[in-house]
Amino acid sequence: MRRLGRPARRRPADALLAAATASVLALTASGCVTVHGERELVPAVTEAEAARALKDFTDAYNKADKAYDPALDAGRVTGPMGEINQAGLRSRQKSSPGGNPDHRPLELTDAKFHIPRKAGWPRFFVADTDSNRDTDQGPGDNRWLLVFVRGGDRQLWEVAYLSILSPGDIPAFRTEAGYAVPAGAGPGGPAVPPGELGERYVEFLRSGAAGPFAPGPHTTEWRAAREKEARRPGLVTQYVDRAESGGDFAPLGLVTADGGALVFFATRYFERETAAKGYRPKVGKDVKALLTGEVRNTVTKRWVSSQTALVKPAGTERDAVAVVGRLQGVTAAEGS
């Protein structure tokens, strides 16, 4: 798992979890009344249940990391976070079958839960936590934001998105009746709807055309870095990006106090490296563990990339979307 952040702080599907609807029949003095769960706004979770989901995730994550066994947390991760996590564990399991000799348990503390109300399923909430994985422990520590999703009352809460942000990149959120507000759930909303962010981002990476994205390490700078890597002596690198918005990859967000939104969305991309005749692309051990085929002069890596965007309110014409975080990982590789 690779987390790409601001330069000054560098450190590290198809159908959305079966949608369920609930109908409760209640007999009253006036007769039979049907309450439709798909129409009634209800909190996604209680704070106590959210705290339990966070603990269950952390426990499973630590067991999997210690043993390098993806099966041990497979039931607690999904979506882009799940694919990145599971591929990383499969890779390290092959290179270190005895487990993780450097395991240090992850601790997630000081949790703040942003819980929206929603009709029907799926539901989600965001846990804003402090972790013991940063090297600059203290008041200015980065925060780990985990987006938990659940597709029905018989399913577990799973983490679909993880974002590691500086406190200054985490906005204040709008609340209604004490609960967070899901982005796209009402009139107005952010300048770019959550469902359009993936396609717009992919188009920007492809063409560089002027659009809603503000300059930064995950937009203009990343595109420039790709162009620099595209042609090096003896090696050509090609990139093909694809938006992901279905199933557990669906974009999720919360309305901010100013009427914009903090949105989590995902993309996939292929990175194809072709070496000059007589040479082979270099393949690191983490990628080699996920490799199929034989690398003769080409290797194609498949990546999952998870972005966190701060979107300004509707009506903003310039720099409406700031991509404040990106976490990505290789999930497969093929040689030819």
- The series of mean pLDDT values per 10 residues for the chain, 336 residues long, is 46 33 28 49 96 98 98 98 98 95 96 95 97 68 96 96 96 96 80 95 93 95 94 92 94 96 98 92 92 94 98 89 97 96
Distance of CA 113 to the CA centre of its chain: 17
Contact 159, 57 (CB under 8 A): yes
Average pLDDT, the chain: 87
Alpha carbon distances (Å) from 208 to 138, 201, 237: 38, 10, 17
Rounded CA-CA distance 111/49 in Å is 13
Task: Give me the phi and psi of 272, to 5 degrees please.
Answer: -110, 120
pLDDT of residue 31: 33
Whether residue 50 contacts residue 63, with contact meaning beta carbons closer than 8 Å, is answered with no
Amino acid present at 327: L
* Secondary structure class of 193 (helix, strand, coil): coil
Structural domain for 108, as ranges: 2-335
pTM: 0.86
| Unique residue bearing structure tokens 């085929």 | 293
Contacts of 117 (CB under 8 A, 6+ apart): 41, 42, 43, 44, 176, 177, 179
Q: Do residues 122 and 146 touch, judged by C-beta distance below 8 A?
A: no
- How far is Cα of residue 270 from the mean position of the Cα atoms in its chain? 18
Query: In this predicted structure, what is the pLDDT of residue 211?
Result: 86
Residue 173 corresponds to which tokens in the numbers above? 């959120």
**168 Cβ contact partners less than 8 Å away, ≥ 6 residues apart:** none
CA distances (Å), 193 to each of 70, 162, 184, 185, 186, in order?
Answer: 34, 20, 7, 10, 11
How far apart are the C-alpha atoms of 327 and 331, rounded to whole Å?
13
pLDDT number for residue 4: 53
- Give the whole-angstrom CA distance, residue 205 versus residue 79: 22
At 9 the pLDDT is 39
Q: What is the pLDDT of residue 138?
A: 52
Q: Report whether 299 contacts 322 (CB < 8 A).
A: no
Contact criterion met (CB below 8 Å) for 139 and 110: no
Q: What is the CA radius of gyration of the chain?
A: 21
Alpha-carbon distances, residue 252 vs 59, 123, 153, 192, 293 (angstroms): 25, 10, 19, 13, 36
β-bridge partners, 113: 127
Q: How many structural domains comprise the chain?
A: 1
